[in-house]
Amino acid sequence: MTAPVSPMEETGIVPRMRWFVADGDTATTGITVTGIKVGDNLKLVLNQADGLDHTAEASITAADEITLTTTDTSSDKLLVQWYSNPNA
């Protein structure tokens, strides 16, 4: 039996998992995440200070930038994980 293949693997495109530790900021303010771009697949935004997962309120708003809708993380570090989409 063969392992299931994702649609991206069928086309020969294998997304790369990326990680970045970002300085937090106030809610609705852009947070710099070097290398992320619109069209990538955001998987995790974890506050290193308290261990809270902020992925549900996070979005990629521009190249090298994410935004949290409600939480102020200005005194914290955020661990950001995403899959880089080579077609984005």
Give per-residue burial for 23-52: e unless 16+ CB within 10 Å, then b: ebbeeeeebebeebeeebebeebbbeeeee
Q: Rg of the chain's alpha carbons, rounded to an integer?
A: 14
Report the pLDDT value the prediction gives residue 8, as an integer from 0 to 100.
56
Report the pLDDT value the prediction gives residue 15, as an integer from 0 to 100.
73
Tell me: pLDDT of 41 over 80: yes
Q: Which two tokens mark 22?
A: 């970002």
Strand pairing partners for 53? Answer: 46
Q: Which two tokens mark 5?
A: 């293949």
Between residues 35 and 7, the one the model is more confident about: 35
Average pLDDT, integer, range 67-77? 97
Tell me: pLDDT of 81 over 60: yes
Query: If you ran DSSP here, which 8-state letter would residue 63 be given?
Result: T
Average pLDDT, integer, range 38-66? 97
3-state secondary structure of 45: strand
Q: Is the pTM of this model over 0.85?
A: no
| Cβ contact 31:66 at 8 Å | yes
